[in-house]
Structure 1
């Protein structure tokens, strides 16, 4: 039985609730054991590999910087078992707010395989390729070079 669009949204919202509660076991229950969470290259987290590493990171963020997350928008595709959300990350102890998007891939029974996070941020001088770190763009078939027939110079 394939996961429905509504089930994906509920799973993501419940995952965020578990993160806000800093409930390590509950956070882990949303992922396959080898789940992966990618971040923009240069972010403080690198790549989180494994449900336990993901859960420990969010528990630490709640405890250390007062993290609280909201799901602000959702779109999901049942056929591909993928969803995308917009979120807000309130870092209450340090007075910051970070906004971004995340792409989710699910198993057929609704566990999270991977999350790819993208932050709302300006580009950085001297950086020629802005990307999420550790993600296999070539292996997933993403373009690596500007197509030759593109009229943009």
Structure 2
């Protein structure tokens, strides 16, 4: 069975990241794509295919970044996928593991949004560890704990 088109796009995106290829990176995204990150990075979220591509090229050139995909799951009934990845930073001698949630544009099949989640310690300087500038309320996320009887 052939790999799902969204999984193919994610693999193409990671190959472009590892090559540090600006044009290939841009070709994976809608022009207005957004890449959300947890607190701690400067200038997040990254807004636009151009910005996302430039930032990853910088990481390859300056950090020796290379990425591996550890798992991919593609939704059977929506234009979404989730992956686990490892970001290897050879010039720093470190690595970071995490997950990303992908939203794909229905018409073009390109990535329109990525939400990154890190498998690392929480930032103790913020009250709520969450993605910077992500519209949790507008997307229907819980904004406070649910009472024991209301948990879903």
What's the TM-score once normalised by structure 2's chain length?
0.91
For 1:70, the equivalent position in structure 2 comes to 68
- Whether contact under 8 Å (1:39, 1:45) holds in the other structure is no
- In the aligned structure 1, how far is the partner of 2:125 from the partner of 2:55? 29
Residues 1-153 of structure 1 aligned to structure 2 (within 5 Å): 6-108=4-106, 109-125=108-124, 127-150=126-149
What's the TM-score once normalised by structure 1's chain length?
0.91
- In the aligned structure 2, how far is the partner of 1:150 from the partner of 1:96? 43
Helix, strand or coil for the counterpart of 1:14?
A: helix
Shift of 1:17: 0.2
Q: Which has the higher mean CA deviation after the structures are superposed, 65-74 or 106-115?
A: 106-115
After the TM superposition, which parts of structure 1 deviate over 6 Å for at least 4 consecutive aligned residues?
A: none
Shift of 1:63: 0.3
- In the aligned structure 1, how far is the partner of 2:3 from the partner of 2:33? 20
Structure 1 regions of 5+ residues with no counterpart? none
Structure 2 regions of 5+ residues with no counterpart? none
